[in-house]
Structure 1
């Protein structure tokens, strides 16, 4: 990673002096010196109190706070670095929304970034603070020499100003001090830039997110998405079970009761008989709709007989003729079968609603350890995943299983949808 202040010094040293870079470096170093002194005092107090109270056990809690003390320091440093570094440093920590104090502490102590931040805090408190104090002394002494004539004018003739090697009693005699102050400020400008760049480089090495941190966060994000999908599947099956065992059975009982009532009134002159017959027909229609809804939630044939049988049943109910060619040597993992089934469901629904297709083909094979599923139609094409067709949701679902979805749909057709899902995911 490049350091902006170093690049400014290296490319145009003369322009560096006329720019705002020296002032920015000075502001960064002076504020860092103040922060480093405060940090040194806080760390010393934490260690002293923790060691002093460790005999009664309370000190262990104080000592546990020492490693995580670098976290707020690092957060402040990432903000303060923007004074001299335009590229912000990413936070290496994973977010923990809603976590309690102990889970938060355990997680942070397990992260390598926490210990890197503690190392930076110690480095800042000792090394950079000492360097900042030396730089502050250089800057203050140079500024004092720069205004030597003014100081001499203010205190002469009553007092004689003494500088190393000579005594000055008039402003003109202080001009050499002004020249020395200018030289000192030039040195402070370059020294400040180099020192600020060194601190930025240390921060980039210790405070920024590394590939291993990002890798763990990606893995955790993938696991979180997978857990959400599993929870969604469990909730969907619970709804299916409740509908099948509850509402569906009640509708069956209602249909039977209405049928018995119709039999009792048959042959009698009753105005209620047509109403009962109509109610029975509506109850039967509601039962059929409920059964269709249950099948769409999670078809039982998919659980009992696998993907090929479930797709064949789906093809029989599709308004567009579907040719199914799925040849699998064995049953696949349940998440893979479920993802493949609902991909076919969405593809057939899109073909029936939007494509104007006259025929659809579904082909599935197991290539190595990957399920390769292809759905094609002879419709008008032009399918756009961003147009709300459900393809983006399918792509996200397939991505959770480390698979991919490829859609080819030129205007005029045909449309080809290819899904590849590793069975080991």
Structure 2
């Protein structure tokens, strides 16, 4: 671990740690740069408050200052401060009213006031420290140029006398670096305390995010049902009619060769009908809406044997909220497809259980394992889908198998 890595989270840890680690890290110079910018911003805000006519616009410039300060703490190797402001839409007046009603806006005003009050005091203290350090370090140059220096009751009139005080500049220089570090830590701490989100604001943002994601999932499900209905009532019915019509033509035909061609065409249409039924079942299986997730999972399979087991607490024919049933079914369907397509499995076991209002589903296959929920892939999408309804999905798939998916979530009803 480098000296910079050791203090990524808190500038106060750097100041209270080893002096050697402090002096030989990049933190002092980051602190100097951060403090100089802080003083510049503080004096700017100070002048803005002095000009009475600008006071009504304090929330506006405080919001802008807050945006700058949340990112600027990264100069001290701190994580950027999260922005508690929710997104707002509408006219300029509506957005302005919404911002003025937010508590964080007034915390930003308090921060701007604190920075404006801090700037003059810090400027005075740091300026004295810098002048003293520079004065002792430059004493020989001042005396050599024909000038005189007074340090309390002592007068420095010769170069020899001036050189005797130069070593004092080193501890003053170190003290000045610590002062800059302390000033930077004070400003960053105030920023973290006032500009970051409160627990209730984080909870509100999470609730809004979950609601928006739930709305999006709901719209997707509505579209799935529409597609399933259109496929069932349109192409599927036409293909059934075509199969029956081809069968009638084959029976009426007296030419064996013609009958063979018709039966071949009939078989192809039947295969197309079977594939369409599989597609419809995957889009939005009717059995899922009519009989629930247990019955829908029992119809999964194809090239693999699917066994559905009722675990502890699971009631036969148990119906769950629609979004929960769909999440469980599509998780099981994706697991079965992956087991057959990528895992070389011959058997998949799906076990449902329930305890204390928490429904769980465990899908286990006897394939070769090695499944990884990479970003943008099916398993990763299932993990995200579970999260949208407050559930969790874990995947354990060592090389050699077995692959085990565990879905768990609270349900009501």
1:303 deviates by 0.9
After superposition, where does 1:144-293 map in structure 2 within 5 Å? 145-146=135-136, 147=138, 150=141, 175=162, 182=169, 188-252=176-240, 262=249, 266=253, 279-293=265-279
After superposition, where does 1:16-415 map in structure 2 within 5 Å? 24-43=30-49, 48=53, 63=57, 66-83=58-75, 85-93=76-84, 96=87, 105=96, 108-109=99-100, 111-125=102-116, 127-135=117-125, 137-139=127-129, 141-142=131-132, 145-146=135-136, 147=138, 150=141, 175=162, 182=169, 188-252=176-240, 262=249, 266=253, 279-312=265-298, 314-315=299-300, 318-326=302-310, 327-328=315-316, 330-377=318-365, 379-386=366-373, 390-407=378-395
- Taking the aligned partners of 2:82 and 2:373, their CA distance within structure 1 comes to 31
- Taking the aligned partners of 2:394 and 2:252, their CA distance within structure 1 comes to 61
TM-score, normalised with respect to structure 1 = 0.72
Range moving further from structure 2, 379-388 or 129-138: 379-388
| CA 338–124 in structure 1, closer or farther in 2 if over 3 Å, else same | same
1:118 deviates by 2.4
1:123 deviates by 0.7
| CA 144–304 in structure 1, closer or farther in 2 if over 3 Å, else same | closer
TM-score, normalised with respect to structure 2 = 0.74
1:68 and 1:108 in contact (8 A); partners too:
no
- Taking the aligned partners of 2:157 and 2:8, their CA distance within structure 1 comes to 49
- Taking the aligned partners of 2:22 and 2:343, their CA distance within structure 1 comes to 64
Q: What secondary structure is seen at the aligned counterpart in 2 of 1:419?
A: strand
Whose radius of gyration is greater, 1 or 2?
A: 1
User: Can you give the 5+ residue segments of structure 2 that lack an aligned partner in the other structure?
Assistant: 1-6
- Taking the aligned partners of 1:308 and 1:14, their CA distance within structure 2 comes to 66
RMSD: 4.6
1:197 deviates by 2.9
Q: What secondary structure is seen at the aligned counterpart in 1 of 2:277?
A: helix
2:81 and 2:192 in contact (8 A); partners too:
no
2:239 and 2:273 in contact (8 A); partners too:
yes
- Taking the aligned partners of 2:383 and 2:32, their CA distance within structure 1 comes to 51
- Taking the aligned partners of 1:324 and 1:165, their CA distance within structure 2 comes to 92
